[in-house]
Structures are given as structure tokens and as C-alpha cells.
Amino acid sequence: MIQLIKNKKYIFLTILVALIATGIIIGTRANGLIETISISTEDLVRTVKVAGKVIPKQSVDLGFEISGTISNVDKDVGATVSWGESLVRLNSEITRAELIRAEAELTSAQVELSKLEGSGVYETKIENSKRSLIQSLVDAYITAEDAIYNKTDQIFLNPRSNRPEIDYAFNTFIDLRDSINRNRVTIGILLEKWRTLVTSLSTVSYTEKDITLSREYISEISSFLSDISKAVNAFEEDNVTTQTTIDKYRNDTIMAQDNVSTVSQNITTEENKLRDAISDTPIQVAKVEAAKATVLSYRSQLSRSQLLSPINGIVSKQTAKIGQVTSPGTNVVSVISKDYILETFIPEVLIGGVKIGDSAKITLDAYSNRENFEARVSHIDPAETIRDGVSTYKVKLVFIDTRDLVRSGMTANIEIEIFRKVSASLIPERAIVIEKEESFVYVIDEKKNMNKKIVKLGEKDSWGNVEILSGLSLEDKVVLNPIGNN
């Protein structure tokens, strides 16, 4: 009996020494039993977890273009507004009175003109000249839009985003490259303003200011195209971009510059024709035209004495007070849309796997884990944003369903799914032992013996599991916590 015990001790010590010699110690439970697991078949999922914030899909801050005294606050904070609804108004009694006087003077001048023989011929000639001038402004906008959207945007990544980036590297003009990227955003805003201007033009509504603004827009676009020309001339052929492609970019840029220059000259030509038409008319016709211009000026002032909502949404800020004197450019009211999105900044070490269309699970701190939401990645900035000295990328996500629980400014916990493999064979990664670039596990057989099995590993998930491609069966009992010289 004593000899048998000695033999068992000897065998145990021999096994222990062998395990120590191989650098492997088997972890046990508190009760001394070896903990084992079996392969589980489930989806292998990797996610990126970040914090974010709920923001409105659209938001606008509004202020008056002219100074004046606030007479009406039409919408308070929290009010629902539709596009075109009045938000705040300035006192316009004086302007309205001046408009009535100007309209009366215009009527009087037209009556006097009607007494002159052939007056209709002069007015028709002037009217036609005005139409031609307005058409030249519209043509200028269309040409500029084509120059940017069709002829030069092809060299950008995400040209209509707030982070456009030239898609082709060039070794010179480094400062120019950054300037072009910044100015492409400015040009996009400019084209939107210009589009709004030309869509409202008519012979009875246009003013000299419209012509002046159009010339300023053309000047900015011409300067931008000049920078683009310098850039494309610095492009070099590589494995991705052929010389034929580069030549196309250069030709398109030259054509864009020529077209914009032509429409600018056309505006000057039509202005001169209108000026000549007016100078060829009798004094009374000139008086009528002057009276029309005065009426248009007062009408323009009236239109600028009222702030209208440019979007459907909710008033989020209202600082206007009746009797308050406001200055041009001072924001007095803000409107946000009822649609909300999520904004987050993902560090560069995590952004690699994130792509547009990825699904995400969302919890909001306001509801803890009681409410879960679904979202999808809708936008990824092409350029980095430095936050606390770390390169991050701004990412936006759209909610699939908000259930009217989401509010602007809420903080969110975002888990973006970046990879999924259906029905993968998984075990905890801590069951894997690696020696000399070889991966293996320890398996307990029916006789309680431990056997070493070489396995081939696949993908890893975000919860410490690894995929087993070969080497194990579903029946194998794998030692969970072998501790070795990994």
C-alpha cells in the first residue's frame, strides 16, 4: 500500500516536472477540477465602441442683414416652424411709407410717359435689354456650376462634403493643396448663394446689387480655377493615373476657365447695351426707370426686415426682444430640424474597419440601457480632426428609428459592427498556447488524459474569442486556462 502511494506520487511529480519543462501549467478551479470548454458555433463579430453626441441633421443661425429695431417676435423657443415662416421682424413703418411714396412717384412718371408719342417703343427696348442682362447672369451661374461640379470636382474625393480632398498627390505647391481643399468648401457655399440669387431674378426685381454680387462670385471662382490649373499642371503620371487622364484634367480646367471668362464678358456687354438703351430714351423714360429702381430698393429693404425660416424644424434659440436694436450679422434666432443624427470622432487606430453603411447599436445616457436604438454609418470625413493631440475622424450615423425619444445634445454610447462571419467555430483565446509560431490547445480525453492538439486559427472577435479553422471537433473538451510561455 505504501509502495502504491509512492508510485502515484512519483507519477504525479513526473507529470508536473514534464509540464514545467514544457512551460505549461494547467489552470484549475477553486475545487481543484480542470476547467474545460467546447467549441461553440456562432457568429464572429467585431465592433468599435466609441462615445458620441446627438446633433440635429440641419441647423441654422439667423440674423438680419440690416440694422433696425425689433417689432415682432413671431416664434418662441420650442415652436415648430415650416419653411418660409416668419421668425422675427424689424420695425418697417418708415420703409413702408417710403415705398408707398416711391410707388406713387412711379405711377406719376408712367402717366407722364404715356402722354409721349412712341413711349412704348422705348420701354420695350429697355425691357428687352433687362431680360438679356438677367439671362447673362443666369448663364454665368450655369457655366460656373458646370466648371466646378463637372470639370474640376473629378480631381477631388468627396468634393461636396465639408472635407473635400484632392485625390491626386503632387510634390510641389503643398500650401496650394491645402488652400484648394479649404476653398472648395467656400466655393460650394458660394454656388448655393448664387443659385438662390438667380432663381429669384426678374426684370421687376433685379437690382444693381445682384449684378455686383454675380461679378464677385465670378471673380472668386476664377481665382479658384487658377489654383486648380496650377495643381493639375503639377500632377505626375503613376501606376494609378495615366498621362491621358492627367491631360484630360488639364484640358477640362482650361475649358472651365475660358467658359467663365466668356460669361463674365457677356455680362459686361449686356450691361452696356442696357445703359445705351436708357441713354437713347427721352428724359421721361429715364425718370420712369429711376422711379422703378427706387421702388425695388424699398421692396428689397422690406424683404430684409423679416427673418424667415429656411428649413422645417423647431426654434432652438431665440434672443430677440421687442424694442431691441440689432446690428447686421448678429445672430438672434436658431432653428434645428426635427431629424437627428449622431456625431462621433473615431481615433485613427480604430477607423480602419469602419465604412459607410455599417450598422450600429446605440444607447443614450439619458435612458441608460433601458432603451436601445439602431443606426447606420452615413458619413466618414476624408481628413483627420485633431482632438486632444490625437488624430481622429469625424463619423456621422443616421438613426433607423428614434421613437420620439431622442433629443439634440444627448450623449450616446455607439457600438459599430465592422465585421461579421456567420456560424464560425469559436473558443476563448486564452485556451490557445503558442510556441515557436505554432498554435495548439490541450484536450482532455475520456480517460482524463491531456493531449496536445495543433489548431489553425482564423479571425478574432471583440470579446476575446478566436475562430478555429481546423484541428478540433465539437466533442473535444479544451482546457480553458493553460498558462504557458506564449
Give the closest residue to 133 by CA, choosing from 221, 203, 204: 203
Does some domain include residue 433? yes
Pair (404, 432) in one structural domain: no
Same domain for 332 and 354, yes or no, is: no
pLDDT at 441: 93
pLDDT at 109: 85
CA distance 318 to 328: 16
Q: pLDDT of 241-296, one tens digit each?
A: 788 888 999 999 999 999 999 999 999 999 998 888 777 666 777 788 889 889 98
Residues 139 and 160 in one domain: yes
Residues 6+ apart with CB under 8 A from 133: 206, 211, 267, 270, 271, 273, 274
CATH number at residue 86: 2.40.50.100
Residues 268 and 139 in one domain: yes
Query: What is the CATH classification number for the domain harbouring 371?
Result: 2.40.30.170
Please indicate, yes or no, whether residues 206 and 165 belong to a single structural domain of this protein: yes
Domain end: 374, 399, 420, which one?
420
Q: Has residue 366 been placed in a domain?
A: yes
Give the separation between CA 439 and CA 59, rounded to whole angstroms: 55
Residue 13 lies in a domain: no
Same domain, 197 and 327: no
Q: Which residue has the cell 484549475?
A: 28
Q: What is the pLDDT of residues 356-366, one digit of tens each?
A: 999 999 999 99
The 10s digit of each residue's pLDDT in 330-339 is 899 999 998 8
Q: Does residue 12 sit within a domain?
A: no
Beta bridge partners of 380: 395
Rounded CA separation 216/22 (Å): 80
The total of other beta-carbon atoms located within 10 Å of residue 461's CB is 20
Task: Give the span between the Cα atoms of 431 and 471, in whole angstroms.
Answer: 14
pLDDT given at position 171: 54
pLDDT band at 207 (very low <50, low <70, confident <90, very high): confident
Q: What integer pLDDT is reported at residue 301 of this predicted model?
A: 87
- The pLDDT value given to residue 178: 82
State yes or no: pLDDT of 373 exceeds 80. Answer: yes
Residue of higher predicted confidence among 306 and 286? 306
Same domain, 263 and 199: yes
| In a shared domain, residues 145 and 265 | yes
Q: For residue 294, is it within any domain? A: no
9 pLDDT higher than 50: no
Kindly compute the dihedral angle of the four CA atoms of residues 147, 149, 152, 156, in this order, to the nearest 10 degrees: 170
How confident is the model at residue 173, as a pLDDT? 62
pLDDT for position 114: 76
**CA-CA distance, 141 to 135, in Å (whole number)?**
10
Determine the Cα–Cα distance for residues 482 and 430; give it in Å rounded to an integer: 8
CB-based contact 39:431 (threshold 8 Å): no
pLDDT-derived band at 485 (thresholds 50, 70, 90) equals: very low
Into how many domains does the chain fold?
Answer: 4
Mean pLDDT taken over the chain: 85
Q: Is the pLDDT of residue 31 over 70?
A: no
Does a structural domain hold residue 14? no
72-108 residue pLDDT tens: 999 999 999 999 999 999 999 988 999 999 999 999 8
Residue 355 lies in a domain: yes
**Which has more confidence, 370 or 363?**
363
**The pLDDT of residue 322 is above 60:** yes
- CA–CA separation, 128 and 122 (whole Å): 10
Q: Three-state secondary structure along 310-335? A: CCCEEEEEECCCCCCEECCCCEEEEE
Residue 124 pLDDT grade (very low, low, confident, very high; cuts 50, 70, 90): confident
Q: Which residue has the higher pLDDT, 237 or 478?
A: 478
Question: Does residue 347 have a pLDDT over 80?
Answer: yes
Q: What is the pLDDT of residue 304?
A: 87
Domain presence at residue 377: yes
CATH number at residue 443: 2.40.420.20
User: Do 453 and 363 reside in the same domain of the chain?
Assistant: no
Q: Are residues 190 and 268 in the same domain?
A: yes
Q: Is 188's pLDDT higher than 60?
A: yes
134 lies in which domain range? Answer: 117-281
Cell reading at 311: 428649413
Give the dihedral of Cα atoms 9, 12, 16, 18; nearest 10 deg. 110
pLDDT band at 13 (very low <50, low <70, confident <90, very high): very low
Rounded distance, CA 14 to CA 10, Å? 6
pLDDT digits (tens, 9 = 90+) for 62-76: 999 889 999 999 999
Percentage, residues of the chain above pLDDT 90: 51
Of 281, 297, 317, which one is at a domain's C-terminal end? 281
Tens digit of pLDDT for each residue in 395-413? Answer: 999 999 877 889 989 999 9
Residues 415 and 429 in one domain: no
Q: Are residues 234 and 364 in the same domain?
A: no
pLDDT tens for 141-179 read 999 999 999 999 998 888 888 778 887 655 556 678 888
Domain finish residue from 379, 398, 420: 420
Phi/psi at 31 (5° precision): -85, 5
Model confidence at 123, pLDDT cuts 50, 70, 90, reads confident
